[in-house]
Structures are given as structure tokens and as C-alpha cells.
Structure 1
Amino acid sequence: MRLVNTLIFALLIVTSFGHAQTTVSGKVLNHKNKPVSGAVLYLDSTATNVITNKSGGYSLIVPDSIKNIKVHSKKLGWLSSAYAKESTMDFMYLDTAPADQSLTPPNGLNPDKDKTTVSFRTIYDMMRGRIAGVVVQQDNTIIVRGINSIRNNSEPLFIVDGNFVQSIDFVVPNEVKSITVLKDAEASIYGSRGASGVIVIKLKK
């Protein structure tokens, strides 16, 4: 009987952990730091009944099994961010960068003007040694130099076509339209997530 009770107790613990969840709240903002109302929140690829209010705010119950939280606005499109069990997550849409933001070194790359782009096997090879102040190590870890942050040994924030991504492994070099590097004041709009710099990648349509 004692063994049976122990097994039941263990099963209850496992079950409770399997259904662990967190209440996540935050705001959705546009590139002018203005609230985006009426945006729908998604858990991975499943729509919820939660939409942002007039202040751009939301509150969402998120199971621990969820990998990504996404936002969809009819006017502004999609945003996605990896879920790391945090209780606060803010989303910000990027403005469409003007033509002069697609910079060549030292601020970034414009592969449309670089005929050697197709010779690079990975996005890391493409960036390595070609953007001043950006170090791509042998293990493909990226560090933005010259930023005023105690976290300057951490990887930068990656944004691909307006979406926050954990990794840029999936980016194909010959599909890249431009790479722009932001740091310090330019990256401050992303808060602590941009403390180690921001790398903005735009893909060809």
C-alpha cells in the first residue's frame, strides 16, 4: 500500500509540473513607441482569444510547453519571440528602413552591391571580417564590439524581417538584402534585450 501511495504521489507531482503555466503580460508597440491595439496573441501557431487593448497591453496564460509567443496585427503583420518562461514580454514593430539604412561597412552590408555573396556557405561566413566592430568567432558566436554595456560579451539581439529570432542559422546568404548593426543609443529602443547590440537582417522578397 505504501508503494502504491508513493507512486500516486509521484504521478501527481509529474502531472502538476506537466501543466505548469505562467501569466505573461506586456505591450505591443509600433516603431514610434505608440501602442498597437487589436493585435492577436498566438501560442506557437495557435491563436488565442487575447487581443491587445487601447494601450497595446495584454495578459496571457502561457503553458511551459510553449516555445514561441507571436503577435499578429492586420495592419503591421507578424512578430515572434522565443518564450523563455519570463513573465513580461514586450513586442515592437520595426519601421520600414529607408534606402540609406542599407549600409555598407562599417555599419552593415548591402549584398545587392556585392557580387561575391553567393560564394558564402553560411550567414556567418558572409559576416565574418566584413563588418567593422562585429566579431564572428569560429563557433559562429557573434559579438558587437564598442558598446557601452557590461554584457558586451553576450550575443546581440537578432531581428530578421521584423521578427525577433534566437538564431540566424536558417538565413541563406544569397537571400539577404541588407544587414544593419545597431548599438548603444540606436539599440536602446529594445531595452535590455538590445544591450549587447542589435543585428537587423532584411531578406529579399
Structure 2
Amino acid sequence: MKTLTKLICSLLLASGFVQAQTIITGKVVNYKNKAVSGAELYLDSTATQVTTNKSGEYTLVVPENVKTLKVHSNKYGWLSSAFAKETKMDFMYLDTASATDKSLTPPNGLKPEKDKTTVSYRTIYDMMRGRIAGVTVQQDNTIIIRGINSIRNNSEPLFIVDGNVVTSIDFIVPNEVLSINVLKDAEASIYGSRGASGVIVIKLKK
């Protein structure tokens, strides 16, 4: 009887614990839509020890209050996406080497390693605000690239971090930034319609 009671209590506790979590599945592929195996999943900035299988697939238990899912591949680098309690999230690495190479010596951007005050900025938005020609960072941290001939010129630009498309740059710590480059018009055309509002290319220190 005592054993049965313990079992029931354990099941109830487990049930309550599971309800506070989300089980998520997904797949990680490269720019050729080929599976990326061995990529590790992160919850915010915490490693989970969960990696993708040979098919690029993963299953992950996500606790409450997690805001970001990240993927790291030794070959392809980082991907990040905001988490809104989805039960399926796929990630794709893009082949953006040409844009990333440009970020090393940005014609219109920022190279923080030459700025000794970089560590004083609390967020990447503070670091960018008023310091990159043609870029407006509003009080709510919305970024607008000025001078773009597009009906979407009030939309935020596309964000590329270390060659990967990300939905947000909130996770970036200012002193981790190697360079920031701004692409627009013809330069941003390699990204198609997604680059219509410009592209912010960020390279992080290794």
C-alpha cells in the first residue's frame, strides 16, 4: 500500500512538473537543406547537452520562462530564435559568407575593438545608437535604416549574426561584438525581399 501511495505521489508530482514545461521538436539544416548533425541546443545561454541526430532532428524539454532557443554547430556557428511556447521549431543556416566577409572592414558600420568605451554600453542598442551613419535606433530599440527606397522602409532590417539570420539581437553582449556592418539597396539584394528594409550584419569575437 505504501509503495502504491509513493507511486501515485510521484506520478502527480511528475504530472505537475511536465505541465510547467513544453516539449519541442524540430530540425536543423544548412543552406542546401541538408541535415546538420551534432548541433547543440541552448535554452537562453544555458547548454542543454541535447544535440541533433544524423537527420538533424532534436527533441527538447523547455521549462517555463525560457525566452530564446539557440543552436550551435562547430561547422556553421550560432542560430537564435525567440521562443513563444511553440511545439516545433526548425532552424536553417544560410550561406552568407560574402556579407560576413564585408563586416570585417565595414564601409558603413562600427568596429568596437577600436573603441575603448565599448564595455560601458549596457546593450547592443546603446552601442549602436547615434554611432552608425544612416541608422536610427529608437527609444524602444527598434532599428530603422534611413534612405531605403522601399514601401517597407518603416520595418526593421534583417539581422545576420556570424552569417546566420536571427530574429533578435537582444542576446548580444556589446563587448562580444567584433564589427557591425549596414547593407542596403544593391548590397542587401542578395537577401531578396527579406533585405528590403536593409540588413544589419554583426560579427562576434571568437
Tell me the TM-score normalised to structure 1 length: 0.58
Q: Do the aligned partners of residues 182 and 65 (structure 1) sit closer, same or farther apart at CA in structure 2, a change above 3 Å counting?
A: same
Aligned to 2:173: 170
SS across alignment from 2:116 = helix
| Unaligned segments of structure 2, at least 5 residues | 1-11
Report if aligned partners of 1:179, 1:202 keep a CA contact under 8 Å in 2.
yes
| Unaligned segments of structure 1, at least 5 residues | 1-11
Give the aligned residue type for 1:91. F
**Pairing 1:91–2:91 present:** yes
* Whole-Å separation in 2 of the counterparts to 1:204 and 1:19: 39
- Deviation string, structure 1 residues 21-49 (Cα, Å, up to 9, x no partner): 44534432335554312334344535365
- CA displacement at 1:93 relative to structure 2: 3.8
Aligned to 2:73: 73
Farther-moved stretch of structure 1 (82-91 vs 97-106): 97-106
Aligned to 1:200: 201
- CA displacement at 1:142 relative to structure 2: 1.8
- Deviation string, structure 1 residues 152-183 (Cα, Å, up to 9, x no partner): 545445454467454167313xx532112356
* Whole-Å separation in 2 of the counterparts to 1:133 and 1:59: 42
Aligned to 1:36: 36
Aligned to 2:143: 142
Count of residues in Structure 1 that have an aligned counterpart in Structure 2: 181
* Whole-Å separation in 2 of the counterparts to 1:105 and 1:166: 21
* Whole-Å separation in 1 of the counterparts to 2:183 and 2:33: 17
- CA displacement at 1:110 relative to structure 2: 4.0
What is the 5 A alignment of 1:102-113? 102-106=104-108, 108-111=109-112
Give the aligned residue type for 1:201. I
RMSD over aligned Cα, in angstroms? 4.2
* Whole-Å separation in 2 of the counterparts to 1:85 and 1:31: 26
Tell me the TM-score normalised to structure 2 length: 0.58
SS across alignment from 1:118 = coil
* Whole-Å separation in 2 of the counterparts to 1:156 and 1:78: 19
SS across alignment from 2:136 = strand
